Structure 1
Amino acid sequence: MKPLAQLCMFLLFSTVFALATLVPANLQCRCLFGDACWPIATQFSDLASQVSLPLIQPIPPASPCYRSLNSSTNCNDVHLNWADGNWRANQSGAMQSTNFETFIWPNGTIDACYFNTSLNVPCTQGSVPIIGVNAQTPSDVQAAVKFASAHNLRLIVKNTGHDYLGRSTAKDSFLIWIHNMKNITFHETFVPTGAPPTEVYNKTLTLGAGVQWYEAYDAAHSHNVVIVGGLSAGGSVGSSGGWFQGGGHSALSPSFGLGVDNVLELTVVTSTGEHLTANSHIHSDLFWALRGGGGGTYGIVTSVTYRTHPSTPITATFLSTTIISNVTGPSPILTKLFTELVRVTPNLSDSGWGGYTLFYPGTPGTSLALQILYITPNLNVSNSVANSSIQSFYDYAQQLATNSSMETGGLLNITAAVIIELDSFYAWETQYFRSSGQVGGNIELGSRLLPRNVIENDYEKVAKMLLPLPGLNYYLVAGGAVSRVNSSSTGLNPAWRKALVHTVFGGTWQEGASAQEIMQVGNTIKAGIANLHALAPDSGAYFNEASKFEPDPLNTFFGSHYKALKDIKLKYDPYELFIVSKGVGSEDWDEDLNCKV
C-alpha cells in the first residue's frame, strides 16, 4: 500500500494510466482505484463542475496524528473527540466502529490508520473511500450517481457511519457523502403526493438525508410533537437513511411502532439518476421495499416525511445495580435477577414500557453493572398499572440484594431504582442520551429477535442462553404497537411483528490485534449466533444491528419478503449499483462486493 499522502497526490495530479494495472476492466467487476478504468483527473474535474462543492478526499480520522501527513484537523481534536459520535459523523472518512476503517488482506496483513501511533504502523487508507461528492442537494446526488454508473465505480453512500456491517465504506471506492443535507421542514398539514385531498396528516416532519436524531428531536420539540427515532450517545445516528430502511427501533416503538411504521413519503435517487417520490400512491412498490428492505440497496434516499405524535408527559424508570461475584461466568444472583426480568417482560410490554437493559456478565471478582432504562407514554394503560408492573420487579431485586452474600452467589447492590414523571420524551432523551461516547472502538455484533411465545414458554431457558453472551443487551423495543401492524404492509422482516425483544451481544478487540486474534472474536460471535438460532429458530434478526457471520443472512434479515424485495431492487436499480454487505442482491457478488459471481 502507498502512504495516504501519496494516494492523494496520485489522485489529484496524475492520470491513472501512469500507474494503472494493464489488465482490461472486467465488465463483471466494479472499477476500483488503481484499475485502468478509474476516471482520470479531467473526468473528476468535469464531475466537480456539476456539484455544489469541490470533491472530497476522505482520510482516516487518525491521520492528523501522523506527522508525514497534512490535514486541516488537529491531532488534539482527534484525541479529544475519538469516541464522540457526532465528531465522527462530521469526518467523511470516519466510521463509528473503527474496524470498518481497516482492511484485512487474505494473507492476514492489515491496512489501517491507528489512533495509537505508538504501534509504529504506517497510516494507510484502509477501507476508507478514495474520493467523493459532498452532496448538498438532490441534484448533487443525481450527478454523483450518474458518474458512478457511467464509470461502473464501486459506490458507497454514507451519512454518519453508524453501521455494524460496514456498508458505509469500502476500499478503493467512490463516496457519496449525504451528511450535510440538513433540511428540516415542519408541515401543519401534509398530503402525500398523488393522494386524494382528503388524505391529510397533521404535524409532520420532512427530514433531509443528513439529519441526525438529535437535530430531529430538537425540531420536533420546538413544535411540541414527538417523533419515533433512534437513541444513541449524542443522538448521532442518522434519521433518514439506514436506520429506518432496516426497520428503525426506538424506546417509543412499543407505543408508536417502528420507524418504518411512521414514514409517510420518501424521495429517492435511483441508479438511473431519476429523483423519485415514493409513497403508498406513487411508486408504492419502492415505498414498500424502502421501509425495511435494507439501506443502500434501492437508491439514495434524499428526504423522509414522518408522522409525529402529540408530546405528552411520560413515566421513566432507571435501575442501576452492581454485582460482585467470585464464580466463573454468570453468578447465581445475576442469573436470578435476569431470569425474573425475562419472566416479567411480557407484563412490562403490556404495561406500555419500552427501553433498554444493558449489562455484561464479567469475570470472577469483577463488579458487574446492570442498568434498566425504560419509559412509557402511558397511552393505553394508567400510570398506576405501569408503575406497579415495574415496581414488582424492583421489589424482587431489593429482596435479592438484602439476602445476597458472597457465599450465596454474589453481592447485589442497588445504586438507583427510581420511577419518575417527566414532561416529555424530549426531557428524557436530552437527559440520558446527549453525552458523547459509545463509539470509536472495534466491535462485531450478533443479535436475534425473540418472539413473545419463546419468552412466555420457557423464560428460564431464555435467560440461561442469553447470560453467557459477551456484551449482552436486552432491548424491549418490540411488541405493543409493533405487533399490531400487518406484516405485509412494509418490506420489513415479518419476524419483527412477532417479536417482543431485540437482544444484541458483541465482541471487541484492541487496536493492533492480528488477523488471527480478530478471527477468534468472530468465532465467539458465530457460537453465540448458533445458540440464539437454536433458542428462536423461526425468528430473524435486525439488519442494522447484526452480524456478517449469519449463516443464512438473507432469510434471517428479510424473511419471506426476500424474493419480492429483490424483484423491486432489480426494477429500480437495473445497473445493480447499490450493493451492500448481506443486503438484497448481495448473494450475486463476491465477498468484497466488487465482482459478480
Structure 2
Amino acid sequence: MNSLNGTLGSGESSAAMFSLTQLQYHLGQATMGWNWFSIGAGLLTLLGGARSSPPLVDRTWNGTEYGCKCYLGDDCWPSDDSWVGLNSTVDGNLVVTIPPGAACHDTFEGPLGTVATYDAAACADATAMFADESWNVEKPAAALWTYFTNDTCRPTLNPSEPCTLGNYGVYVIVAKTKDHIKAGVDFARENNLRLIIRNTGHDFIGRSTGWGALVINTHSFQDIEFIAEYSGPGDYHSQAVTIGAGVQGRALLTKAHDQEPPVAVLTGECPTVGVAGGLIQGGGHGPLTPTYGMTADTALSFDVVTAAGEFLTANADENPDLFWALKGGGPSAYAVVLSVTMKTFPEQASTGTIIEINSTHTTDPEVFWEGVRIFHKYSNRIVDAGLYAYFELSEMRLHVKPIVGFKKEVAETTSTLQPLFDEFKANGIPYSTYEKYYPSLFDLYIDLFEDEEAGTSALTGGWMFAHQDVEENNDGIIEAFRTVMSPREDLNSQGFIIGHLWDAGHSVSVSNSATHPRFRNSTNFAIVALPVPFGATLAQKEDLQNVLTNIQDAAMKKAGPNGCAYINEGDPTQPDWQDHFWGSEYPKLLEIRKKWDPNGVFYAIATPGTEDWEVIEYGTRLCRKL
C-alpha cells in the first residue's frame, strides 16, 4: 500500500479524526511538500479500488467457509468517487478515524497510509484526559474501555512507539441530521460494509468498535423536548419527554429538573450513559427501576432508520413489533434510533445512604467477607422496600454508594437498614455509614453518583441473582463473589464486581418490553470485570476470556440458578446467550430481526439473529458461516 507521508497540523491529531475534505486538500498540496496522491486515480489506488463483487466475500478460516463483509483491500471496497460522493451526501461530515492517543506518537500507521501525528500540547491533553469519560465521549469513534480496540495507540512517553488503527472503524460519519444516518446505512448496505452505530462509546463488550468498519456517530442528536401530556398512541396520557439519540443521563436529568414543576426520568446510574440508544435497546436499569421498572418500560415511541433506509415511527399503533423489540431486544439489532419519547414522573424528595467496609476498618479478610455476607443477606429486604443500591466490591473494599430511597424520609430508609446495622454490630463487623436527605432525586444523583473511569482494559461478564437465590443460597453467592475476586492462584485479587440492587418487578410486575422476564423477580444484578494487561498476547487474551466465562461467570450462575444475564453488561461469548439474555422472549425477537434486517446490515455481538455471524481472523473480519 502507498504511504502518506504528511502531517496533520496543530491540534488536528487531538481531534482523533481527519476529514475527507482535508484529505482532498492535502492531496492537492504537492507544492507544499506533501507526498499525497491526487483525489482521482491516486486515492483509488490508496483505497484499494472498487469494482462490483458478490454481496459477501468468500473466505476460509480454520477450514470453515465464510461469506464476509467487504473490507479495505477487497475488490468490492468502494471507490474513491464513492467515498467522495458519500462525503458530499453527508455534508462533509465523513472523517477518517485516528485513535485519541495518536498525538503522543510520531506517526499514525493507518490502513490508508502513514501520517505524522505528534503534537506535544495535544499529547499532554490526551495523557491528562484519557481516563475521563466525557473527553472520550466527544471523540468521533473512541471507546471508553479500550480492550475491544485492541488497546491500540494509547498515550505514551515514547513517541517512537507504533500507533495503528487496531479495531477502530476506518471512517466515521459524524451525523448531524437524520439524512446523514440514512446515507450511512444505505452506503453500508449497498457496499456490504460492516456498520457500527456509536453514540457515547460507553460500551463494555465491543459494540462501538469494529475492525475495518464504517461508523455512524449519533452523538450530536441532543434535542430534548418535554411534553405536558402525551396524547398517545397507547393508554398512557401524562407527562413525557422526547430526546435525541445522543442525549446522556446527566444532561437529560438536568433539563428535567429545570422544568416547572421538576420531573424525573428513568436513566442509567452512570451520568454519561446515552439514554435513547444502547441503554433502552438493552433494557436499561437505574435508580428509579424499583419504582418504574426498566428504562425500556418507559418508552412510548421511537423514530428510527431501518436497515432498508426507511424513516419509520414505532409505537403501540405503528410497527408495534419493532416497537416491542426496540425496548430491550438488543442494541444495534433492528434499526438506528433517531429519538425516543419516554414517560416522565413527578420529582420527589429522596434519601441517600453510604456504607463502607474496607481496609481502614479491618485488615482481617474473614471479618471483611463476613461483612459482605451480612450485607448481601439483607439485599432482598432492601429491594422489597423499594430501595435501590449501587455497590463496588473488590479485595478488602465494599463501597455501597448510594442506597437510594426515592420518595422516602430518612427515618423510613433507616428503619429498613437498621437490622443490617444491628447484625454488623452483633458480629463485630466494623463499618461506616452516612445518610442524607435531598429535596429531589436530582440533587441526590448529582451528589452521589459518579462518572466511571475510561481508558481501562478489561473483560466483562455478569449475572442477576433472583429473590429465591438470595433467600436460599446467600452463602453460595458470597463464595461465588470470592471466586470472582481470585479466580485462579495467578489472578489473586484481580477480579472486581459492580452490584446493583433493584427489583424491576417491584412496581411493574408485568413487562411491556422485550427484557428477560426473570428481571421481574430480581434482587442483585452484578457485573463481573477482569482486567487485561496492556500489550497482552492473543494467547493471554484467550486464557483470560476462558477465566471470565468458565470460572468467574460460571461460579455466579451456579450460585444463582434462577437468574439471568444482561446484554449491556454481560459476557457475549457465554454459552446459550440467547436464553441467558432474553429467555422465553428470544424466539419472537429472532423472528422480528429476520423481518426488519434479514441480510445483517446491523451487527452487535450476541444479539438476536447473529448466531451465524462470527468475527474471524483474530478479531478482524465479520463473516457469516456458509
* Alpha-carbon separation, structure 2, partners of 1:161 and 1:323: 34
Give the aligned partner of residue 595 of structure 1.
623
Query: CA offsets, 1:204-258, max 9 Å, x none?
Result: 11110111111111111111000010122xx211111111111101022011211
TM-superposed deviation, 1:77? 1.5
Correspondent of 1:20 among 37, 42, 48: 48
Corresponding residue SS for 2:297 = helix
Give the aligned partner of residue 9 of structure 2.
none
Q: Are 2:240 and 2:342, in contact at CA under 8 Å, matched by a contact in 1?
A: yes
Give the aligned partner of residue 269 of structure 2.
231
Give the aligned partner of residue 605 of structure 2.
581
Relative to structure 1, the CA distance from residue 467 to residue 373 in structure 2 (aligned partners, 3 Å threshold; closer, same or farther) is: farther
Relative to structure 1, the CA distance from residue 203 to residue 71 in structure 2 (aligned partners, 3 Å threshold; closer, same or farther) is: farther
* Alpha-carbon separation, structure 2, partners of 1:306 and 1:433: 22
Corresponding residue SS for 2:611 = helix
TM norm structure 1: 0.88
Range with bigger deviation, 223-232 or 494-503 = 494-503
Relative to structure 1, the CA distance from residue 346 to residue 118 in structure 2 (aligned partners, 3 Å threshold; closer, same or farther) is: same
Give the aligned partner of residue 79 of structure 2.
40
* Alpha-carbon separation, structure 2, partners of 1:351 and 1:479: 13
Relative to structure 1, the CA distance from residue 2 to residue 85 in structure 2 (aligned partners, 3 Å threshold; closer, same or farther) is: farther
* Alpha-carbon separation, structure 2, partners of 1:18 and 1:2: 6
Displaced runs of 4 or more, over 6 A: 1-12, 324-327
Correspondent of 1:438 among 453, 457, 461: 453
Query: CA offsets, 1:279-327, max 9 Å, x none?
Result: 1111110011011111000010000111011011001111123236667
TM-superposed deviation, 1:474? 2.1
The unaligned stretches of length 5 or more in structure 1 are 104-111, 363-367, 405-411
* Alpha-carbon separation, structure 2, partners of 1:241 and 1:173: 19
Give the aligned partner of residue 181 of structure 1.
221
Amino acid corresponding to residue 420 of structure 2 in structure 1 = F
TM-superposed deviation, 1:377? 1.2
Amino acid corresponding to residue 31 of structure 1 in structure 2 = C
Identity %: 27
Correspondent of 1:559 among 564, 577, 583: 583
Give the aligned partner of residue 476 of structure 1.
501
Give the aligned partner of residue 12 of structure 2.
none
Give the aligned partner of residue 365 of structure 1.
none
TM-superposed deviation, 1:22? 11
Give the aligned partner of residue 33 of structure 2.
none
Relative to structure 1, the CA distance from residue 437 to residue 491 in structure 2 (aligned partners, 3 Å threshold; closer, same or farther) is: closer
* Alpha-carbon separation, structure 2, partners of 1:12 and 1:441: 40
* Alpha-carbon separation, structure 2, partners of 1:219 and 1:309: 13
Corresponding residue SS for 1:124 = coil
CA RMSD of aligned residues (A): 2.6
* Alpha-carbon separation, structure 1, partners of 2:37 and 2:548: 39
Q: Are 2:402 and 2:448, in contact at CA under 8 Å, matched by a contact in 1?
A: no
Give the aligned partner of residue 210 of structure 1.
246
Q: Are 1:96 and 1:162, in contact at CA under 8 Å, matched by a contact in 2?
A: yes
* Alpha-carbon separation, structure 1, partners of 2:4 and 2:148: 17
Q: Are 1:317 and 1:417, in contact at CA under 8 Å, matched by a contact in 2?
A: yes
* Alpha-carbon separation, structure 1, partners of 2:413 and 2:363: 36
Give the aligned partner of residue 195 of structure 2.
155
TM-superposed deviation, 1:570? 1.4
* Alpha-carbon separation, structure 2, partners of 1:43 and 1:22: 9
Query: CA offsets, 1:256-283, max 9 Å, x none?
Result: 2110111111111001111111111111
Amino acid corresponding to residue 611 of structure 2 in structure 1 = E
1:251 aligns with 2:287: yes
Query: CA offsets, 1:327-356, max 9 Å, x none?
Result: 7xxx22122211111221111112221021
TM-superposed deviation, 1:200? 5.5
* Alpha-carbon separation, structure 1, partners of 2:218 and 2:46: 32
Amino acid corresponding to residue 513 of structure 2 in structure 1 = T
Give the aligned partner of residue 68 of structure 2.
29
Relative to structure 1, the CA distance from residue 12 to residue 529 in structure 2 (aligned partners, 3 Å threshold; closer, same or farther) is: farther
Corresponding residue SS for 2:250 = helix
* Alpha-carbon separation, structure 1, partners of 2:4 and 2:371: 51
Range with bigger deviation, 169-178 or 457-466 = 457-466
Range with bigger deviation, 182-191 or 47-56 = 47-56
Amino acid corresponding to residue 331 of structure 2 in structure 1 = G
Correspondent of 2:100 among 61, 65, 75: 61
* Alpha-carbon separation, structure 1, partners of 2:359 and 2:216: 47
Q: Give the aligned length.
A: 559
Correspondent of 1:219 among 225, 248, 255: 255
Relative to structure 1, the CA distance from residue 136 to residue 481 in structure 2 (aligned partners, 3 Å threshold; closer, same or farther) is: farther
Query: CA offsets, 1:24-74, max 9 Å, x none?
Result: 656232111222211112112212222244311122111111133338981
Q: Are 2:500 and 2:525, in contact at CA under 8 Å, matched by a contact in 1?
A: yes
Give the aligned partner of residue 49 of structure 1.
88
TM norm structure 2: 0.84
* Alpha-carbon separation, structure 2, partners of 1:473 and 1:217: 23
Q: Are 1:541 and 1:556, in contact at CA under 8 Å, matched by a contact in 2?
A: yes
Relative to structure 1, the CA distance from residue 206 to residue 5 in structure 2 (aligned partners, 3 Å threshold; closer, same or farther) is: farther
Give the aligned partner of residue 386 of structure 2.
352
Q: Are 1:52 and 1:135, in contact at CA under 8 Å, matched by a contact in 2?
A: no
* Alpha-carbon separation, structure 2, partners of 1:322 and 1:460: 20
Relative to structure 1, the CA distance from residue 125 to residue 140 in structure 2 (aligned partners, 3 Å threshold; closer, same or farther) is: same
1:283 aligns with 2:319: yes
Give the aligned partner of residue 312 of structure 1.
348
Correspondent of 2:469 among 432, 438, 454: 454
1:371 aligns with 2:391: no
Q: Are 2:332 and 2:603, in contact at CA under 8 Å, matched by a contact in 1?
A: yes
Corresponding residue SS for 1:347 = helix
Correspondent of 2:309 among 264, 273, 276: 273
* Alpha-carbon separation, structure 1, partners of 2:340 and 2:579: 27
Relative to structure 1, the CA distance from residue 200 to residue 361 in structure 2 (aligned partners, 3 Å threshold; closer, same or farther) is: closer
Range with bigger deviation, 317-326 or 17-26 = 17-26
Amino acid corresponding to residue 381 of structure 2 in structure 1 = N
Amino acid corresponding to residue 477 of structure 1 in structure 2 = W
Correspondent of 1:137 among 177, 190, 193: 177
Range with bigger deviation, 552-561 or 440-449 = 552-561
Query: CA offsets, 1:388-413, max 9 Å, x none?
Result: 1113323333454xx46xxxxxxx4x
Give the aligned partner of residue 393 of structure 1.
420
TM-superposed deviation, 1:2? 9.0
* Alpha-carbon separation, structure 2, partners of 1:95 and 1:4: 26
Corresponding residue SS for 1:544 = helix
TM-superposed deviation, 1:175? 0.8
Corresponding residue SS for 1:376 = strand
Relative to structure 1, the CA distance from residue 71 to residue 582 in structure 2 (aligned partners, 3 Å threshold; closer, same or farther) is: farther
* Alpha-carbon separation, structure 2, partners of 1:495 and 1:3: 54
Range with bigger deviation, 114-123 or 266-275 = 114-123
TM-superposed deviation, 1:480? 4.7
Amino acid corresponding to residue 451 of structure 1 in structure 2 = A
* Alpha-carbon separation, structure 2, partners of 1:5 and 1:570: 46
1:86 aligns with 2:134: yes
TM-superposed deviation, 1:516? 3.0
* Alpha-carbon separation, structure 1, partners of 2:179 and 2:473: 54
Range with bigger deviation, 266-275 or 51-60 = 51-60
* Alpha-carbon separation, structure 1, partners of 2:176 and 2:477: 47
Give the aligned partner of residue 425 of structure 1.
441
TM-superposed deviation, 1:5? 7.2
Corresponding residue SS for 2:530 = strand
